[in-house]
A and B are shown apart, each in its own frame.
Chain A
Amino acid sequence: MSATGLFLCLFLVGHLAGNLQLFLTGEEAALQFNAYAKFMTTNPAVKILSYLTYFSILFHAIDGIMLVASNKAARPQKYAYSNPSANSKWNSRNMGVLGTIILVFIAVHMSNFWYVMHFGSLPVDSAGNKDLYTVVISFFTDDSMGLIFVLFYVFAMAAMCFHLLHGFKSAFSSFGLRTAKTKVIFEKIGYAFSIVVSIAFAAIPVYIYLTH
């Protein structure tokens, strides 16, 4: 759980760095983004990384679902009255639910862009690369569905934020690195990471919707 979770956090950094190019507008930006998208689907080193990422998502999700199931089985009879908010945070108790939202998001998101890029027949730009930039922009500015997609993406990023607010620091405890001294450090880094990354991702569709 912890190893795949933290690897996925690394993936988020890389993915975000690439996608920030979507904040750029104009012909130039489109060409640059499309060239980047081509590089990401063809470069052998990136290929290895992307297979590692697919594997991590699958392993993390399956392991997570099994963990939730066996942990539920450890308490076959529920309490008639329980007050869990007195001792723990809501997101820490609902990692499986938050993770499932992320999983659904990943499936939708991959069919939106990844599938189109890999298997769809796309028009090419003036440099001869598949024009993914235009696909992304028109996806979020579509007259009937654009706003719904923007809201869904923002919602999913909020779920990811809460998943990571707990998950990031939790992973370091699982690795045995949490001590009285380090716990504050992991917590602070984790909070900063979760909030910055989630807001940055969520800002992309919002920005596209508002400016195009």
Chain B
Amino acid sequence: MIRTVNLTKRYGKFLAVNQLNLHIEQGSVFGFVGPNGAGKSTTMSILATLMEPTSGHAYVGGFDVTKDPDKVRQLIGYMPDFFGVYDNLTAVEYLDFYAGAYDIPKEKRPALIQDLLELVNLSMKADAYVDTLSRGMKQRLGLARCLVHDPQVLILDEPASGLDPRARIEMKDILKELKAMGKTIIISSHILPELAEMCDTIGIIEQGQLIALAPVDQIASRVAGHRVLRVKLLERAQEAYDQVHYLEHVTNADVQENTLLIHYTGDEAGQVALLSKLVQNGLPVLSFAEEAGNLEEVFLTVTKGVGS
């Protein structure tokens, strides 16, 4: 449904998106994860026909975003990371305006708008002026706005950012509902766990490059059995690294000053063996702690080398 081929965008000399290749199946939910400034919004603007790529191509539903923008616009509902609302319009008028902008006949609008407001839990705010709504409500109204022309594809740029936990949960529930409706969704966030439970595929982007891409269910089990062992040494951390990095169940190891971080997928007995090996070799182990893996770190380890 969505495909990018060597998509590249430069702002002057600055490379914001670098040779991005994505493929998103119809009906699937793609989570686009990366730190601020990674190029997520840029990619999504290009997909939403709001920006021309410097090179490469992007297709939505088989249509090229620069050659057939009108066809693409028909297919997509786009929610930017930051958007404003018009003051002196009520929620109903706001949606009515966009319904008109999508050429939806007047007589169909009232029922449609009522359904949309219900979907995003804003029925009670139907006649409230949009500039009086809370941020969470505005965000949900924006989502309803994306849906007025019943698009097949939703491009949602950080829809949950800036929301309080309760509003986040509400947003997540609505998105799950949309997923159940069979929409193809590309959704971005700078926080991975936020997306993990509702996406089919996760792609991680950093400095404009896709560094990891994997189906969520395929890695979920591996993520579950994944631990990070933090071994603090007095000295000779590098030596410790040499001793463990090749062991079975050690997926990755990292030296940070006098600390050795071991990504470990084995059982507890193996963990004991690992520790005793270090001690027996005379390494000055100061402490040995197990921490739940940072999902992002874990994800990167598990999918190492997929994107490149």
- Tell me if chain B binds chain A: no
A interface list, Cβ under 8 A from B? none
